[in-house]
Amino acid sequence: MDRHVLTLALAVMSVVGCATTVVDAVVDGWHVGPEASCDAVARCPDLLVTASGGLDRRDPGHAAVVKITLHDEGPVVDATGGRVIHSGACCRVALFELADGSVKAIGVGTVGISPGIQAFDYGP
């Protein structure tokens, strides 16, 4: 990891905090589950850096990020409340609280056997 990426990772980690009201909500198509502790998530700084880059690419000019939390993907339910099983789950959900009061989400993770972390704009 080069020096610039490491600096960004440390800056991102310094704003990671506890989510407030969005757990079990759907944000940008992502079902937000429980917060995942960075201590328990492999490559957490890399996930957060990739998610931040994904947000910047998807929503250029967004308000400043005040807090980032990393979450498990929450359960998907149908109109009757039944749980929907979907295959290919790859992602954690990075939740961004922005200075203008809005909340954004980006999926972040690996696909298949690829070791490369990718950001995914909108949930399934």
User: What are the tokens at 70?
Assistant: 């990393």
- As a whole number of angstroms, the distance between CA 80 and CA 87 comes to 20
Would you say residue 21 has pLDDT above 70? no
Q: What 3 state SS string does 32-100 have?
A: EEEECCHHHCCCHHHHHHHHHHHHHHHCCCCCCEEEEEEEEECCEECCCCCEECCCCCCEEEEEEEECC
Would you say residue 20 has pLDDT above 70? no
pTM for this entry: 0.76
pLDDT tens-digit profile of 59-97? 999 999 999 999 998 877 777 777 776 555 578 999 999
Would you say residue 28 has pLDDT above 70? yes
Residue 6: per-residue pLDDT: 35
Residue 23: per-residue pLDDT: 60
Which of 8-12, 42-46, 77-81 shows the lowest mean pLDDT across its residues? Answer: 8-12
Query: Phi and psi (nearest 5°) for 42?
Result: -65, 140
